[in-house]
Structure 1
Amino acid sequence: MNRIDLPVGEDDLQAYLDGRLGPDRLEAVRRYLEEHPAIAGDLERDRMLLGELRDRLGSKAAEPIPARLRISSIRAGVRRRRWSNVRSVAAVCAWIAVGGLGGWMANGLLVTSDPAPVRIARIAEDAMAAYRTFVVEVVHPVEVRADEEAHLVGWLSKRLRTPITAPDLTPLGYRLMGGRLLPGGSGPAAMLMYDDDAGSRLTLYVKTDETEETSFQFLEEDGVSAFLWRDRGLGYVVTAGTSREALMPVARLVYDELERQPEPKPANQL
């Protein structure tokens, strides 16, 4: 079976959406979409959402390149990661020599990979776990309530060592309930919780993250949806027990609110 005859899969649909399909697969995918109108509708919806996101985030291209993304900084980072990988491999080899690690385990440890997807998965997993833990709380859903908002944002800003703000989501019917400090792996994280008149709750999870900026990414697990992105040294995750379509306006409003805030100062200037 050659590639033209292969069944159409998720990789083909994503490549079609991104405009990366070669002519040999393009015709196969078009036929598949004609035979599956529901999937074609979903794909068209995704195309529209991506187009809207590109329009909203396109202004980023006109901004000055952050120092961390300059060629010299990237090269220095690559050198540091390579040296770190060399030291990690050396440490693994030492453990193999001393303890005799198993064959498949040694192979897994010695394979290096891009850490970015791991970081993405970790921040989303932490945010969704925090949402599930605290959104059901009746007495103590937050640590500091909204009537002490100034104290809340000041405290969280101090602990994260960067200014934190609470976006105003009242245009979408959500009010700030309050927030709390959470452990975030390599450092603390902040969580703000909002609710509406129907009692629906959502959270905004914030953590320092110096990796490169990203556009929105969507995740869904067991009925819990999340949009995440990175901007100006912070990682953000908006989480709720709702659909992607219902959560998208919230993520957009949070992004717009945060974009209107001044550039965060370095930690040593707080």
Structure 2
Amino acid sequence: MTNQDRPSEGGDRMGPPKPDRDLQALSAFIDDELHGDERDAVAERIANDPASEATAAAYRAQDNALRALFADQGEPQIVRLRPRSRERYLIAACFMVVGVACGFLMHMLLPALFGDEPRFAERADIAYAVYAPEQRHAVEVAASQQDHLVTWLSKRLNRAVTIPSLAEYGFQLVGGRLLPDEEGPAAQFMYQNAAGERLTLYMTTATIRRNDSKIRTLKDGQRTTFYWAWDRVGYALSGQIGEAKLQAIAYDTCKELGGDPKSW
């Protein structure tokens, strides 16, 4: 055993730490590196000093353990030192901090890079799934009070709201309601045809940071949502009618609300 392999201090079992020179002398004594008077002096100190005796015993136990470990090995072994428990906790904490920081940065950067449309489209799809089956409370304000509905939701969304007509496709306005979006209010307008099929048009200004009137599709089971963004408003048309028909309605609705057909 080399001096570098020895414990640097005795710990609670061996009393107060000894000077490095004394520990080196004890280490050399155990390794049979002392001779003559120097060896006799260290042997006497071990015999008369309990702390030195305990340190020497710890060194001998360490030597015996190493000899037993490598007694049957024909080739030199490489001993890999593992981090202490405290060091492992510190390493894990560092990785956790880095992971949280990366997640925060991705949360901040992804909307700027890719826009927020998928999130509002998902909210529109969920709102359709919740309210379309309702019979008595499908809307907050009925179509018979359309002027009030427009005034109310325009004030809440902080911009003029237009309710498009879908009459040419056989759908009449049922009414509308106010909904929460991620960072502010959203509006939902519901339409129904003679067969009882329903469509909803979702509008939000809360998280829209760029114009993109290219119409995209979100599907969830039998529900389909066509969504786009224009003039800093996000729109999503949801329904369970034929996809081709719903797409045609979405294109006409987008155009009526100011979207640019050239981007389709």
Q: TM-score when scaled to structure 2?
A: 0.57
Change (3 A) 1:199 1:192: same
Cα deviation code 1:118-164 (max 9, x no counterpart): 61221011100100010010100000000000000110000000011
Give yes or no for contact 1:188–1:207 (8 Å, CA) kept in 2.
Answer: yes
**CA offset at residue 217 of structure 1?**
0.7
Structure richer in helix, relative to its length: 1
Change (3 A) 1:177 1:110: closer
**CA offset at residue 100 of structure 1?**
5.9
Deviates most, 142-151 or 116-125: 116-125
Change (3 A) 1:157 1:248: same
Asked if 1:126 corresponds to 2:120, the answer is no
Aligned twin of 1:38: none
Counterpart Cα distance in 2 of 1:218 and 1:254: 15
Aligned-partner residue type, residue 110 of structure 2: D
Counterpart Cα distance in 2 of 1:232 and 1:157: 15
Change (3 A) 1:158 1:179: same
Deviates most, 240-249 or 183-192: 240-249
Aligned twin of 2:199: 202
Counterpart Cα distance in 2 of 1:222 and 1:135: 15
Counterpart Cα distance in 1 of 2:217 and 2:251: 13
Give yes or no for contact 1:178–1:192 (8 Å, CA) kept in 2.
Answer: yes
Asked if 1:212 corresponds to 2:211, the answer is yes
Change (3 A) 1:220 1:243: farther
Counterpart Cα distance in 1 of 2:105 and 2:159: 35
Aligned twin of 1:223: 222
How many residues get paired?
A: 164
Q: Give runs of ≥4 in structure 1 deviating > 2 Å.
A: 99-108, 110-114
Alignment of 1:23-38 (within 5 A): none
Aligned twin of 2:245: 246
Q: Secondary structure at the match of 2:214?
A: coil
Cα deviation code 1:62-100 (max 9, x no counterpart): xxxxxxxxxxxxxxxxxxxxxxxxxxxxxxxxxx99x76
Counterpart Cα distance in 2 of 1:150 and 1:110: 43
Alignment of 1:64-213 (within 5 A): 102=96, 105-106=99-100, 108-109=102-103, 112=106, 113-115=109-111, 117=114, 119-208=116-205, 209-213=208-212
**CA offset at residue 117 of structure 1?**
4.0
Give yes or no for contact 2:204–2:233 (8 Å, CA) kept in 1.
Answer: yes
Deviates most, 134-143 or 248-257: 248-257
Aligned-partner residue type, residue 139 of structure 1: R
Counterpart Cα distance in 1 of 2:98 and 2:240: 39
Give yes or no for contact 1:169–1:253 (8 Å, CA) kept in 2.
Answer: no
Counterpart Cα distance in 2 of 1:184 and 1:195: 24
Q: Secondary structure at the match of 1:150?
A: helix
Give yes or no for contact 1:180–1:191 (8 Å, CA) kept in 2.
Answer: yes
Aligned twin of 1:235: 234
Give identity over the alignment, percent.
34
**CA offset at residue 201 of structure 1?**
0.1
Change (3 A) 1:234 1:118: closer
Give yes or no for contact 1:225–1:243 (8 Å, CA) kept in 2.
Answer: no
Counterpart Cα distance in 2 of 1:212 and 1:256: 14
Counterpart Cα distance in 1 of 2:251 and 2:186: 21
Give yes or no for contact 2:150–2:163 (8 Å, CA) kept in 1.
Answer: yes
**CA offset at residue 213 of structure 1?**
2.6
Aligned twin of 2:40: none
**CA offset at residue 229 of structure 1?**
0.6
Aligned-partner residue type, residue 114 of structure 1: L
Counterpart Cα distance in 2 of 1:169 and 1:163: 19
Aligned-partner residue type, residue 159 of structure 1: R
Counterpart Cα distance in 1 of 2:195 and 2:152: 29
Deviates most, 117-126 or 176-185: 117-126
Counterpart Cα distance in 2 of 1:231 and 1:132: 24
Consecutive unaligned residues of structure 2, counting only runs of 5 or more, are 1-89, 260-264
